C-alpha cells in the first residue's frame, strides 16, 4: 500500500490514463503524483482559490470575501463582477469586516496580521502590530471606533481606530485573557451587540463569554456546546445570541440571563456559519454537511434546506435588506440565495490564473498536463 503525504489536500482526481493522481491543496498548489511510486512528480502553484470570510457592505451593493490566495475581493452584487482585488497578506485571509460607514475594511490573515484598507482607493492604510499569535475573528463596534480581534492563544484584543488628515492609527486599549477570566483556548469568533454595549466571544474551550464593553469585565459564561464554537451572532434587537458549534448543533441564548432557549438539530457535521435575517425572524446555519438551513427563531423549527455547494460551507451573510443570503465554501464558490424561495440566484468563483483558456483541440500536452490546466481555471468546451 502506498501512502502520500498530502497535507491539507482538499480535492483530487485521476488523469485519463490512470497513472497520475492530481490533487489540489489549500496551499494553492496542484500536485501530480505517480500512482506506482507515490512520489510527487510536479507541484504547480496558483490554482483557483477558496473563499473564507464574507461580509456585505452596509449599502448591500458589495460583497467582500477573504480568500485562500492571500487576497481580499470586492464583488458587485448586482452583476457578480469583481470590483477590485486587494493584495498585501502573505497567507490565507480568514476573516473580513466592514466599518459601519463602509469606508474601511479590516482583514485577518494566516500571516498573523490584521490590515486596514481604505475601500475607495483599495490602499492598505495600516497593519496592526499584533503582540501574539494568528488572528481569527474580527468585529467593528457599531460606532466604528473599536476593532476587536481574537487570537490562537485565547486573548481578545480591542483596538481603538482613529484618523487624522487621512492617516489612520490603531491603539491597543484592552487585552482580555485568562487573567481577565477569559477563555482557555483559541478565540474563534467575536461580535458586538447592536447597541455596542456587549461583546460576545466564542472559543475552542466550548464556551461563550459575554463582556461589558464599558468596563471590559465578564458578565457571564454560556456553556452547553460539547465542542468548539465556530461563530456567535446577536439578533438585530440584541435580545438573543445564536451560536454555531463543532458539535453539529446551533443554539439560541437569551442575552439578559444567559438561558439557552433552543437547540437546533439537523446538520450532520461541524457547523461553521450562522446569521440572523435583518428582521430577526429567521436564523441561517451552514457547515461541513454542504447544506444551508433556515430556522424559525421563535419556535426553533427548521424551515428549509438549501443545497448546491459541493464542499464545506464556511460563512454566511445576509444582505442588509434581507433579500439575499450569501454563503462561501471550500469548493471555491460564493453563492447568493433567495432566502424566501430557497433558489440559488448567482454562483461566483474567483478566477484561476488560466481562466478563459480553452483547451479544446489543443495538441502536444499530456492528459496530466491537461488536467492540471483545468484545475488552474482552463476549460475544455466548444466555442
User: 45-80, pLDDT tens digit by residue?
Assistant: 444 567 788 999 999 999 999 988 889 999 999 998
C-alpha–C-alpha distance, residues 90 and 74, integer Å: 18
Could you tell me the strand order of the sheet in which 240-245 lies?
229-234, 240-245, 250-254, 260-264
Q: What is the pLDDT of residue 33?
A: 57
Q: Which residue has the cell 483558456?
A: 357
Indicate the pLDDT class of residue 2, thresholds 50, 70 and 90: very low
Contact 325, 309 (CB under 8 A): no
**Three cell numbers, residue 273:** 456559519
DSSP-derived secondary structure for 294-309: EEETTT--EEEEEE--
**Three cell numbers, residue 107:** 482583514
Indicate the pLDDT class of residue 362, thresholds 50, 70 and 90: confident
Average pLDDT, the chain: 84
Indicate the pLDDT class of residue 130, thresholds 50, 70 and 90: confident
Run of H or E residues at 149: strand 146-151
* Threshold 0.85, pTM exceeds: no
For residue range 270-327, what is the model confidence (pLDDT) as tens digits?
Answer: 999 999 999 999 999 999 999 999 999 999 999 999 999 988 899 999 999 999 999 9
Highest mean pLDDT among 27-36, 45-54, 126-135: 126-135
For residue range 95-118, what is the model confidence (pLDDT) as tens digits?
Answer: 999 999 999 999 998 888 899 999
Higher pLDDT, 123 or 366: 123
Q: What is the pLDDT of residue 168?
A: 87
Instruction: Look at the alpha carbons of 40, 45, 51, 52 in this order and tell me if their dihedral is positive or negative.
Output: positive
Could you tell me the strand order of the sheet in which 29-34 lies?
9-14, 20-25, 29-34, 40-45
Domains of the chain: 9-47+351-375 (no CATH), 51-275 (2.130.10.10)
> Residue 137: pLDDT above 70?
yes
Higher pLDDT, 206 or 353: 206
The mean pLDDT of 144-155, rounded to a whole number, is 92
156-164/62-67 β-pairing: unpaired
> Residue 18: pLDDT above 80?
no
Percent of the chain with pLDDT over 70: 78
Percent of the chain with pLDDT over 90: 62
List C-alpha distances in Å: 284 to 229, 264, 265, 302, 318: 16, 11, 13, 10, 9
The mean pLDDT of 236-253, rounded to a whole number, is 98
The mean pLDDT of 141-167, rounded to a whole number, is 91
Indicate the pLDDT class of residue 133, thresholds 50, 70 and 90: low
Rounded to 5 degrees, φ, ψ at 333 are: -105, 145
C-alpha–C-alpha distance, residues 348 and 3, integer Å: 35
DSSP-derived secondary structure for 302-366: EEEEEE--SS-EEEEEE-TTSS-EEEEETTSEEEEE-TTT--EEEEEEPPPTTTT-B-TT--S--
291-296/93-98 β-pairing: unpaired
Q: What is the pLDDT of residue 10?
A: 38
Amino acid at each position: 500500500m502506498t501512502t502520500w503525504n498530502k497535507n491539507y489536500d482538499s480535492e483530487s482526481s485521476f488523469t485519463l490514463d490512470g497513472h497520475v493522481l492530481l490533487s489540489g491543496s489549500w496551499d494553492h498548489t496542484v500536485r501530480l503524483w505517480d500512482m506506482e511510486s507515490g512520489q510527487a512528480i510536479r507541484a504547480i502553484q496558483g490554482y483557483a482559490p477558496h473563499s473564507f470570510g464574507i461580509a456585505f457592505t452596509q449599502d448591500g451593493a458589495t460583497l467582500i470575501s477573504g480568500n485562500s490566495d492571500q487576497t481580499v475581493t470586492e464583488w458587485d452584487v448586482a452583476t457578480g463582477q469583481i470590483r477590485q482585488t486587494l493584495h498585501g497578506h502573505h497567507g490565507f485571509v480568514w476573516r473580513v469586516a466592514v466599518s459601519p460607514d463602509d469606508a474601511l475594511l479590516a482583514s485577518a490573515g494566516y500571516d498573523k496580521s490584521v490590515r486596514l484598507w481604505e475601500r475607495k482607493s483599495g490602499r492598505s492604510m495600516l497593519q496592526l502590530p499584533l503582540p501574539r499569535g494568528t488572528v481569527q475573528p474580527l468585529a467593528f463596534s457599531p460606532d466604528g471606533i473599536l476593532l476587536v480581534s481574537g487570537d490562537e492563544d485565547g486573548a481578545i484584543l480591542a483596538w481603538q481606530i482613529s484618523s487624522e488628515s487621512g492617516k489612520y492609527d490603531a491603539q491597543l486599549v484592552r487585552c482580555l485573557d485568562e487573567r481577565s477570566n477569559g477563555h482557555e483556548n483559541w478565540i474563534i469568533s467575536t461580535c458586538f451587540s447592536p447597541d455596542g454595549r456587549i461583546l460576545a466571544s466564542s472559543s475552542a474551550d466550548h464556551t461563550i463569554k459575554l463582556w461589558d464593553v464599558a468596563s471590559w469585565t465578564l458578565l457571564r459564561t454560556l456553556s452547553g456546546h460539547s465542542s468548539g464554537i465556530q461563530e456567535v451572532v446577536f439578533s438585530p434587537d440584541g435580545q438573543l445570541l445564536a451560536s454555531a458549534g463543532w458539535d453539529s448543533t446551533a443554539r439560541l441564548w437569551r442575552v439578559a440571563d444567559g438561558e439557552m432557549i433552543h437547540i437546533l438539530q439537523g446538520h450532520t457535521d461541524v457547523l461553521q456559519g450562522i446569521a440572523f435575517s435583518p428582521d430577526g425572524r429567521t436564523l441561517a446555519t451552514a457547515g461541513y454537511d454542504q447544506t444551508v438551513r433556515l430556522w424559525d427563531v421563535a419556535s426553533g423549527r427548521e424551515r428549509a434546506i438549501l443545497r448546491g455547494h459541493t464542499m464545506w460551507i464556511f460563512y454566511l451573510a445576509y444582505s442588509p435588506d434581507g433579500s439575499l443570503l450569501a454563503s462561501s465554501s471550500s469548493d471555491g464558490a460564493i453563492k447568493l440565495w433567495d432566502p424566501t424561495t430557497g433558489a440559488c440566484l448567482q454562483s461566483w468563483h474567483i478566477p484561476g490564473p488560466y481562466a478563459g483558456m480553452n483547451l479544446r483541440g489543443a495538441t502536444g500536452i499530456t492528459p496530466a498536463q491537461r488536467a492540471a490546466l483545468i484545475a488552474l481555471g482552463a476549460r475544455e468546451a466548444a466555442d
